[in-house]
Structure 1
Amino acid sequence: MTDADLAHLDAVSALRAFRALELSPVELLEALTAQVERVNGDRETGVNAFTETLFDEARAEAERAADAYVRAARAGEPTPPLLGIPVATKEKHPLAGRRIEQGLAAHAGRVADADHPVVERVRQAGGIVHARTTSPEFSCATVTHSPMWGITRNPWNLAATPGGSSGGSAAALAAGMTTLATASDIAGSTRVPAAFTGTVGYKAPYGRIPGLPPLSADWYRGDGPMARTVADTALLASVMAGRHPVDHTSWGPHGEPVPLPEDPVAALRGVRIGLSVRLGGFAVDPEVESSTLDVAKRLEDAGAVVVPVELPWTSGQVMRTIFAHFGQVLGPAVERESGGLHRLAPYTRRFVEDARRAAERDGLLDSLALDTAMQRELAIAMSGVDALLCPTNAVTSLAADSDYLDGIEIAGSHRDHYWEAHLTSPFNVANRCPVLSVPSGTASNGVPIGVQVVAHPHDERTVFAVGAAVEALVPRKPWPTLGAEQGTGSPT
């Protein structure tokens, strides 16, 4: 197996090879390190997925993991679930003794005094944190660039963004610079970049994966896994999930594997899947619509019952609902942490100003009423199906370096806010629903397209089963080879 093959090796296969002593954790880490040096590039023109790398520490851990596999093989003993697997962690997930800046000038030089719960659990499971990934300022954008860390670009088309806010994690996975990655999601920050990079991103039900207070109490948010396959994503989710003393909102068992069907396509027979291309009133690019309909037909041909689902939502209703919430929580948090709007990137200033105006219009009780109206409408729409299928993003790409202060054109119509380019935030309003973004095809500009699989509250089994079926049914292109021709179409 070449270094390039190892760089994109999935975690489940790597663990199997480790246990059989057919592959060493050191070999895998060295392949990833070589890939980083070959393809990551600089902060202006390269993929630029990392805020820092920890290769020396990671190599020492990989050597210890390799020894542990030899001992375990001799003794016939089990090994921890991620032993020797490299994991890139989003910079907002603190590592004790390392900087925790979140891209904010006001946080420059800050150092974390403890690991984030998801980092703690990755390490306890034997995972090796070898790099930390970029995000926009305070994770407040669906593009990934900042004055602090430069521009992060999509490996499939360097003119395009990998999405945000977990853009560095997504880019690192697509470019073969990590095996697994951590992410977070408050309006689509895991699913948006997963779709734009042909990777898999999971937004767990609220509280299923522990976060850090005080924002762990924000019922829109959640931390979670990203990977290149559904099985890898389920594996990392099981490691992260479960009750943790740091987060009072956390719940459920820790370390319990998410069951996946042995034959996910066969398991589709009779499953009722609702299809909504626009979630009511979203404008959607024709290529995205075509890709989503293709997935629905593949599911139907495999034995699922696909039925159209009507939602009464408008994009204006969705934007009012989420910004009423952000006006009460995230907007004030950014203002408090930033040291003044003059120190923020234009897209962050725009977010804070929009949130402030929303808070002046809608108070907390108004925000709760808006939330519960959308939740009820979704519950009614999904009452006759086991899962819902819809696009992840409404557009085929976003430009890597743009702020989108003047809105965006989608399918021939102008939208005032570029967040209307994503169909993700309704499921942060309905944040007890598990949602998985899985690849559904590739646009003409070379950038991947994704669909969301949405299940009923807390039904993780269904969301992963249907996601695994989509993965099995949709053909996948080879991973991008930087230096070869990538996408030539212009981003939106």
Structure 2
Amino acid sequence: MTTELIHRDASGLAELIRDRKVSSVEVVRAHLDRIEAADPKVNAIVTLADGALEAAKAADAALAAGVAVGPLHGVPFTAKDSFDTAGVLTQRGSPIFAGRVPDRDATSVARLKRAGAILLAKTNLPEFSYSTESDNLLTGRTNNPWNLGRTPGGSSGGESAAIAAGMSPLGLGSDLAISVRGPAAHTGIAALKPTHGRIPMTGVWPRAPRRDWHVGPMARTVRDLALAYALLSGPDGADGLASVPREFDAGLGTSPDRPVRVGWLVDSGLGPIDPEVAATVRDAAEALRSAGAEVDAVDIPALERDNPLDLFYRQHVMEVRPAFREATAGHEDRMGRVSKHMLAGPDTPLHDYVLAEQGVERLRDAFAAYFQRYDILLLPVLPVPAHGHGAARLTVDGRTVNAAHIQTATVPFNLTGLPALSLRFGTSGEGLPIGVQLAAGWHCESTVLHTASLLESLSPVRDQHPAM
């Protein structure tokens, strides 16, 4: 029963608990036991939340008393350690914040709790969430449960590894350029980066500059992403960029009177892509075609004209430096390598910064035109399956590139604020998960979730878990 529980999705666990087929205590204890057994190898969990079993007992008592319950009643969840959690350590992957205990929950944490979910633990991340590998000076390095010598990605790598390894059914991550979708692809789970501003950043650090940061759910199934998104979205009166009403927009592509229109690409400015990754994207396109979607190979010339990763670095790094300088002042001896590197570099010249801003505007225009013709863009999440720890360079399809290339296919949707989702659809020759990415027009989360759910039902790798 324990094995069955740790591989169930959150929606399934909630149904079992509501139907009194299993207790919340049994579910929470199963995940705590799994953490005890698996985490010494994976190192995804940095702090256990006090009182999870007591909260589970209270959840069971409420059901027994006939109290009306929320959609995640009694289900455990985890949160990246950049999310404030009242009374629970939130150390942001840095010795500078060691021992920090917030007195309030982040908005997203509070919303899951209001839906009946129980905070189980906090998960590992790079210092300040600024790396594509989840390693820091305070809580160490997280390993990929599919292969401990490979990275689970970053910055939400602890969250992805915990869910993939059966330590959590549902989690909260944040995404700046890759940080929920990349780790999801590395570890074979699912993750959604909604339209910018859909989920408030209140209580998540860093949040400056907020125009690139997103909160996103991470889970085992697309239906869990949809449920979590519906619970998490909407303004909170504190984050001024989270201003879109909570209504779940049906979007394009879900109408029964025409097929979903899908364009797919594996090049068009993305740089080198591993042949197995490219083949997985093509397989996903063919699967959607076989299910009745209208599918075309496409290109987006703006991705070739303006390198999105270059635009991101010229724009974002300069904007985040004031927050980093303030947080680290007087503590420079406790900073990690990435933070030191970010602060040591020169500021972007104003002229180049303006050119980068104009490049982002061209990308937005190009995607606006694309989504007039298509409902979905299907493309890789990552150029390669999970790579080894600490890689500074990657060899991709015979070409050697900087490790930052790992973000090439994800960062365009942070710069433009478009919703994008990562979903496993393949397996590499080494037995590692391969994901595909689906993006949709602004505020069309239901379109991407609808299409992802269809693709998930066609997946040749459903219900596969790491053997550990």
* TM-score normalised according to structure 2 size: 0.93
Provide the C-alpha distance between the structure 1 equivalents of 2:192 and 2:401, rounded to a whole number of angstroms.
Answer: 27
Aligned 8 A contact 2:198 2:235 in 1: yes
**Pairwise CA distance, 1:452:** 0.9
Would the alpha carbon gap of residues 78 and 142 (structure 1) be closer, same or farther in structure 2, given more than 3 Å must change?
Answer: same
CA distance in 1, matches of 2:404, 2:262: 29
Number of matched residues? 463
C-alpha change, 1:39 and 1:290, in structure 2 (3 Å) is same
- Shift of the 361–398 alpha-carbon distance from structure 1 to 2, 3 Å rule, reads farther
Q: Distance in 2 between matches of 1:444 and 1:408?
A: 17
Quote how far apart the aligned CAs of 1:314 are. 3.6
Q: Is the 8 A contact 1:174 1:479 kept in 2?
A: no
Task: Give structure 1 regions of 4+ aligned residues with deviation exceeding 4 angstroms.
Answer: 256-261, 266-269, 361-364
Structure 1 unmatched runs, 5+: 484-492
1:191 lines up with 2:185 in the alignment: no
Query: Does the alignment pair 1:392 with 2:392?
Result: no
Corresponding residue of 2:443: 458
Listed one character per residue, the Cα deviations across residues 432-485 of structure 1 (whole Å, up to 9, x for unaligned) are: x111111111112222111111001111110100110111111225543544xx
**SS at structure 2 position matched to 1:243:** coil
Q: Deviations 1:205-242 (Å, cap 9, x if unpaired)? A: 11110112782652111112100000011111111111
> After superposition, where does 1:212-361 map in structure 2 within 5 Å?
212=202, 215=207, 218-254=210-246, 270-312=259-301, 313-314=303-304, 317-339=307-329, 343-353=334-344, 356-357=345-346, 359-360=348-349
Amino acid at match of 1:252: V
List aligned pairs for 1:164-183, cutoff 5 A.
164-183=154-173
Secondary structure in 2 aligned to 1:329? Answer: helix
Q: Which of residues 56, 81, 106 in structure 1 aligns to 2:71?
A: 81
1:110 Cα deviation after fit:
2.5
Matched letter for residue 20 of structure 1:
D
Structure 2: runs of 5+ lacking an equivalent? none
Matching residue within 26, 47, 50 for 2:45: 50
Question: Which moved further from structure 2: 420-429 or 309-318?
Answer: 309-318
* Cα gap change, 1:421 to 1:244, in 2 (>3 Å): closer
Partner-residue secondary structure (3-state), 1:88 = strand
Maintained 8 Å contact 1:186/1:220: yes
Is the CA contact (8 Å cut-off) linking 2:134 and 2:157 kept in structure 1? yes
C-alpha change, 1:273 and 1:477, in structure 2 (3 Å) is: closer
Tell which deviates more after alignment, 334-343 or 56-65.
334-343
| The one of 135, 144, 160 aligned to 2:150 | 160
Q: Which residue of 2 aligns with 1:33?
A: 32
Quote how far apart the aligned CAs of 1:146 are: 1.1
Change (3 A) 1:258 1:358: same
Among 358, 367, 370, the residue aligned to 1:369: 358
Give the secondary structure class of the aligned counterpart of 1:215: coil
Whether 1:3 aligns to 2:2 is: yes
* Displacement after TM superposition at 1:280 (Å): 2.1
Structure 2 Cα separation of the partners of residues 13 and 428 of structure 1: 31
> Residue 21 of structure 2 corresponds to which residue in structure 1?
22
Distance apart, 1:13 and its partner CA: 1.3
Provide, for residues 257-285 of structure 1, a one-character-per-residue CA deviation record: whole Å limited to 9, x for no partner. Answer: 68799xx9x96962110111124242101
Report how far residue 148 of structure 1 moved.
Answer: 0.8
Q: Distance in 2 between matches of 1:417 and 1:361?
A: 27
Q: Distance in 2 between matches of 1:268 and 1:36?
A: 47
CA distance in 1 between counterparts of 2:395 and 2:314 reads: 24
CA contact (8 A) 1:258 1:461 kept: yes
Contact kept in structure 1, 2:182 and 2:382, CA below 8 Å: yes
Identity %: 32
